[in-house]
Chain A
């Protein structure tokens, strides 16, 4: 899989007419419409700039990039004048007019700028500082009093504004309005009083607010997280990949004295362009301090005690000695591709079991079949570029803004720039859908499969929007994106596959977690081997055994159990041991059952980063490295391999793969060293060969309906919620969306709901504020894992389940 070379099939832009120009006497041909500032960059001439940003619409406000264009009496802004045939441009290098104009603007920019560079976060990486050195005076001619503002002020819990430093370039406001679609900050007042601000009681709670700090060309915007923490020249920067979701963002992680101080979006044109979301930017405290220094072994006193690695491994070997064929492996979504491969091999070759599943969340057999047949081994499929250039994108069970924010940004870009039609099969039109100018095909939970089938039949039953979208789906390049929650909508994934087949549209699965696509590629599903191979297929087994260097007879032949079945089997005493890694029981549909299983199993090995609900019951806890202590690979939703480096190179913490190798050695079933390089070689050897693909599922759609006093739950995660990896970032959490319950007006009326609703199941109840929303009747939506709204943990149900509604008393 690492051998999969991304081949962007039709991502190259259509040929554009070229125009011939000269810049500083150098002739060049550039595509029509190219701004002069971009053309100059092509010959290495940097025209100074502040407001210009290649991904934002030009504004020509700062006037720093003034250049001379032959035949024009006045200098012109290079950022906003498109090259035209025969144009002769002279920059500051060859034109006195341009040079003088730029020096004049620079003088103006500095007169009111405070001289606090020595304490400014931006000092050392500041475009104003750098360009002032290049184009400014060494001494100021300004001896009046500088402009004063109170400093700093909060735009949100995590974004602070120092108005004295602002040069009014409007990059932040344009980013928020154009890219994120969250125009929560705006320029106020006029003239020299002009300043960025927010509306009263409406803080800058955008999921993408951190990007404004990064694009600010001065130190006006800072994050509460990084403010006054470091100087850029004291930082060591490592290119990394975000661990929070399957978007695959390239990041830069900045470290000083063994501490991660900040993360930035790394320029990755094919994936996240120059942006990322606030979760990816600010939520890294989870990796800051590994909680375990040593392995832990449960003593006769029932308490976990620190142990040496040899002691712990010996204990694991004892516990697993009679577990071959009577054990299961549960992994979560945090794993790298390398680690997933190691678990896949460990389960099959060492433990001799196919009871292995990465889906520590609601799931179904239909989903496993879908992943095995449609996703696994499919390589680089639909890409971001293809999304951007598609004739239509249908979202089924996916709210990109909440679940894959970079997909959201790319879809919004296409919708804004080229009116990409986007349709969402969901219960209500989310803010994100509005920002993508998308169309809702209103669908109650459980009816997603039927809606997809209706599109395959021409969309007639979905009204005029449905017919329009259905017609567009037949156009070449159309895309269907399915989200994680379709797993629990019976027949939906089958219907999506059938719709793609009928229309020729391309289909992509966008999981929420960074490790899920890699886990599918690694075969962490019952019956699925690496590279999309099937366990049931002899040829596949032979290929995999050869790559793993084991006898084919060591591999199980019986297709194993899925998570829910493993949990049941464990409670029924079917296993001697469980190996669990990166699983949070509260992410699963029935957390109580999972915990009961962990308690019931005779021997539990937990391979974990930090204490969790699993380690509480473990017989042995083997600590592994955090994301910053290891190198690795994530496979993003596109199927693109995203390789990242080790931030803390001197860390002695071990990866999951290394720990599994040591256990295997202890069990006398050696699997090799399993270091990162070795695992990547193994991944290459296991590249899809085409053998043993499973059948695409064809499960009939079924729907659920609620009787009086009840409603069908529609739920998905907010981007910022009570997820494990967001712990420890209070300012980030303060920008999260408030949990509310949404119902239609009729549903609210029928249940007598006014301000609050109490949702209950036999497991528990939740009290939430009610927001009446245009959505199907008999449905209630609430966020899956937000503050006061932990659907799985408290209600023990998930998307598509029935809950009781009653008027609530308030929280």
Chain B
């Protein structure tokens, strides 16, 4: 399996992005982490810049960690637009960040999305990040 060396964080809480960046940095010190506090700017990045990155880094993969519960554009609305992107504009994996206690239905819905490879119950920790990478290898 190719190594994931780019993580794209989409979460409206800046504190979460900051924290997740530290967790990811602990496990993948080499990885490049980008963070966005709303779906729109993440989509803009993917549309305009991400394909260049893919071409420049052929040996690597990228993953989006997508918060579901966001104002303006929530995770599902993000995915609806993401679906329309070209293959090279997309990341290799989309991982949904869900808060099971707030809305148990989100877990079910995350599972039902073809685009969503895995889901992680918040908060992301080194432990569940490891598990996540393991299950992506399968």
Partners in one complex: no
Interface residues of B (CB under 8 A from A): none
Interface residues of A (CB under 8 A from B): none
